[in-house]
Amino acid sequence: MPYHLEDGRVTHTDDYGEVDSEIVFTPASGETPFQIVSATIKQGANAGFIQRVLMKMIMNSMHAALWDVVAEVEGKPYQLQGRQPTNGFDLAGLIQYIYNKIYGVAFPANLKQQMHAVQLVPVDQVMPGDIVFWVNNRLITNAGIYLGGGRYLTVDVLAGQVQVKEIGSAWMPNYVGSLR
């Protein structure tokens, strides 16, 4: 396989087994955020594709921790201004908690600020760990963390707790935000 991921480094090798593209990164740890230290991508017809695959591999490695956090927060109560599992969550607090824990970033505690803190990508390119936003007349009406398979983690205010929900075909998110 021409792609390889190891601690803090992801590479692509050419047909001769030589590394021709590499991204070196520092994984998130505690208060230290994920950071790309250096990137060398061989120029050519496939450069953009190779770069996307390398970044996807890095993000997938971080998303493995997502399931541990989902297990930790699922079923926790809705709490206005809630930011921790011990007290419960509101929607922005849940997203902030997950992004701070997985990516080691100081993520905003406001949905609108969160939407501006991420790179918006097309809805059809959603990946686990991305934030999905539903917007109506410039007002964010719902949001959550995409888990894959058409499911997302959110705070259901009516149910009064953090839940995994299905994205219905009649109610697709308008925007996807990513730290890719």
72 shares a domain with 151: yes
| Per-residue pLDDT at 149 exceeds 70 | yes
Q: Residues 112, 118, 123, 129: what is their CA dihedral angle, to the nearest 10 degrees?
A: -110
Does residue 120 sit in helix, strand or coil? strand
**pLDDT on residue 61:** 80
58 shares a domain with 74: no
The domain boundary, picked from 25, 48, 63, lies at 63
The domain boundary, picked from 14, 31, 63, lies at 63
CATH classification of the domain holding 159: 3.90.1720.10
CA separation for the pair 26, 8 (Å, rounded): 5
- The total of structural domains in the chain comes to 2
141 shares a domain with 80: yes
124 shares a domain with 160: yes
100 shares a domain with 41: no
142 shares a domain with 89: yes
81 shares a domain with 23: no
CA separation for the pair 10, 58 (Å, rounded): 7
| Per-residue pLDDT at 13 exceeds 70 | yes
Higher-pLDDT residue of 38, 30:
38
| Per-residue pLDDT at 180 exceeds 70 | no
Please give the structure tokens belonging to residue 1.
């396989």
173 shares a domain with 106: yes
The predicted-structure confidence for 104-118, as pLDDT tens digits, reads as follows 778 899 999 999 999
**pLDDT on residue 142:** 93
Average pLDDT over residues 46-73: 87
The domain boundary, picked from 63, 80, 107, lies at 63
The predicted-structure confidence for 41-57, as pLDDT tens digits, reads as follows 988 768 889 988 998 88
97 shares a domain with 142: yes
159 shares a domain with 88: yes
Please give the structure tokens belonging to residue 141.
């009406």
| Helix (DSSP H) and strand (DSSP E) numbers for the chain | 4, 12
74 shares a domain with 30: no
CA separation for the pair 65, 84 (Å, rounded): 17
Residue 22's domain comprises: 3-63
Check residue 140 and report its DSSP letter. Answer: E
